[in-house]
Amino acid sequence: MLENLNAQPQDKILQLIAMYRDDPRDGKIDLGVGVYKDATGLTPVMRAVKAAEKTLWDTEKTKTYTGLAGEPAYNAAMVGLILGAGFAERAASVATPGGTGAIRQALELIKLAAPGATVWLSNPTWPNHPSIIKYLGMKSAEYRYFDAATGEVDFAGLIADLGTVAEGDVVLLHGCCHNPTGANPTAAQWQQIVDVLKARKAIPLVDLAYQGFGDGLEEDAQATRLIANSFPEVLIAASCSKNFGIYRERTGILIALGDASRKAVTQGNLNFLNRQNYSFPPDHGARLVTMILEDQALTTQWKTELEEVRQNMLTLRQSLAEELRRATNSDRFDFVARHRGMFSRLGLTEAQVNQLREEAGVYMVGDSRINIAGLNSQTVPILAAAIAKVIG
């Protein structure tokens, strides 16, 4: 049997990590993999998470199975964090292994409910989106998203393409902090997106992986809340990997908003999907998140830490934009300061990306996506000078 397997293409980011690891040069800079790092290059465990873990170690009496949908308290806390109050009656939800698990379960739910639907993806998007869709044998299409010339959202292209979506199609939207570009619609543009998709009778699927990494916890949820309030049916796939820094604990949630009269059946289908794929979702990370969100002191501590993370990335963005302005003597890269989240797509060619790696030891993804958190105050001017050199 196993002889029938073909080799799978290597994951580009994992390949990049391996190349970086094997590079003997001092001063190499890793802007590839999408995890937050502090100024020392560490992805720290948040103090609020550590505190919750300590309490959990002291108080946890059993590790028997939880519910198929996860602990109700986790689901309620996450629905509150993402949507605010007032959605309990419309929201069915399941805990999932990370945001990836939530995306996978969302797509599986779509496959059960609307097997013929096309899932629309931004071009570009997080590569796991098209890859899982292809693996599940679902139909997909792309809508224009990024204007490489300006580094901003190609809003005219986006609206034109979303205007061709068929009734019942699913449109995947990054709720905030678009990966890989870093470019995001304005509040007014979100309203226009909603208006077009409502007119087309489309179903939004929001991927929310960076709440709190852009403009703030509440601000980053605004687009998702607008969508939740505007459509009869919405799917939301959210991740706690980044904003709680619990990447390896695999903590996410899929929320399905629909008519209250359909909630029980929707919930049953979400439970069914968890059962088919892995039975009970991972509990540890979800429990830590619940403990943090249910305790006022821990919530305050977590919000303070998350805000430090966000501010650190904003400061790096501003100083990189300034250094690039100086080094290139142009405003070409000013968009770096306007982008939000962990990433910015710089708009360099693949040859320039390769040259940066080979000549300057700067590692970024082939599409010129950089992880802002991979920088610190020392490496910002080094990166700016290296970029100025390769663009000549």
Contact footprint for ligand PMP (CB under 6 A): 34, 98-100, 126, 174, 179, 207, 209, 239, 241, 247, 252
- Closest CB to ligand PMP among 130 and 381? 130
DSSP secondary structure of 339-366: --SSEEE----HHHHHHHHHHH-EE--T
Cβ proximity to ligand PMP: between 122 and 352 the closer is 122
For ligand PMP, give the closer residue by CB, 252 or 374.
Answer: 252
DSSP classification of residue 304: H
| Min dist. Cβ of residue 152 to ligand PMP (A) | 19
- Per DSSP, the residues of 61-85 read -------TT--HHHHHHHHHHHH-S
Please state the closest distance from residue 286 (CB atom) to ligand PMP, in A.
12
For residues 187 and 223, what is the distance between their CA atoms, to the nearest angstrom? 7
Active site residue 223: no
Q: In terms of C-beta density within 10 A (0-12 exposed, 13-18 middle, 19 or more buried), how is residue 231 classed?
A: middle
The H or E element spanning position 208 is strand 203-208
92 φ, ψ to 5°?
Answer: -95, 150
Closest contact distance (angstroms) between CB of 316 and ligand PMP is: 18
**Minimum distance from CB of 151 to ligand PMP (Å)?**
19
Task: Say how far apart CA 53 and CA 221 lie, in whole Å.
Answer: 27
Smaller CB separation from ligand PMP, 93 or 239:
239
CB of 28 to ligand PMP, least distance (A): 22
Contact 249, 243 (CB under 8 A): no
User: Is position 183 annotated as part of the catalytic site?
Assistant: no
Closest residue by Cα to residue 144 from 106, 169, 171, 117: 171
Q: List the beta bridge partners of residue 206.
A: 173, 236
Catalytic residue, from 52, 91, 202, 209: name it: 209
Residue closer to ligand PMP by CB (options 80, 127) is 127
Helix (H) and strand (E) counts in the chain: 14, 13
Is 242 an active-site residue? yes
Q: 51, 95, 169, 242: which is the annotated catalytic residue?
A: 242
Q: How far apart are CB 378 and ligand PMP at their closest, in Å?
A: 26
Give the nearer residue to ligand PMP in terms of CB position, either 140 or 319.
140
Residues belonging to the active site: 126, 207, 209, 242
